[in-house]
Chain A
């Protein structure tokens, strides 16, 4: 089945700097790649997603890029703010078996220092 690797596991940046989180996936048939933000004590919340027919998507300070050939995708956060501090998860949708379930990376703990 699908396998998703995420790096780095922790990331510390100064407020205003950019943060980049990278993920690789194993199944070339995967067609949907969401990113989730999980704050302490809460459930993961979808922040941006990208489909396999698109190379890049932006939403204000957040952008995601997808390289299907290399099977990797990245989350870019610009002008980071302390409220961006959280755990971020990438995921890939498992197409084989027709379940549509999401396979998650191990998560990245982002700390934005004021």
Chain B
């Protein structure tokens, strides 16, 4: 157990629907990062939050949004789902951010989203 908890582990939904993926970071970690991993693809950075505030955005679609709550858990919302959104979605956390962060993230075990 890495200490980063992602729920649900699996999600099957229809096109056009909306889903919410949840991430609880490791205790003491203030920074949360979301990544998308499609079949045969690497880890594509979506968005980062640090202590409740958005810090960086990657190639995140307008249909996707995220937030980090006061208790530091984060949610990734995916709406108007398309077949191409089927992927593994990983959350990672770290204690620090920016130039101060010289350690690796800790990843959760991911949510596998299947859009049918």
Contacts and interface: CB of A to CB of B under 8 A. Distances in A.
Interface size, B (range): 20 to 34
A98 B99 contact: yes
A91 to B, nearest CB: 8
Interface string B38-63: 00011101001000000110100000
Contact of A32 (B4, B55, B102, B107): B102
Interface residues of A, number: 26
A104 B56 CA distance: 16
Nearest to A34: B104
Interface stretch (A13-21, A45-53, A55-63, A73-81): A45-53
A95 B102 CA distance: 10
Contact of A93 (B43, B90, B101, B107): B101
Contacts of A34: 104
Contact of B102 (A31, A43, A89, A103): A31
A104 B42 contact: yes
A26 to B, nearest CB: 15
Given A93-B101, A98-B99, A103 B45 contact: yes
Contact of A46 (B58, B96, B99, B106): B106
Nearest to B94: A100
B2 A43 contact: yes
B104 A36 contact: yes
Given A31-B99, A43-B90, A105-B42, A100 B31 contact: yes
Nearest to B58: A101
Interface in A1-40: 6, 31-32, 34, 36
B107 A45 contact: yes
Given A44-B90, A89-B43, A100 B101 contact: yes
Interface in B70-97: 90, 94, 96-97
A43 B2 CA distance: 9
Contact of A99 (B56, B107, B108, B110): B56
Closest 5 CB pairs of A and B: A43-B107, A100-B101, A46-B104, A98-B98, A99-B56
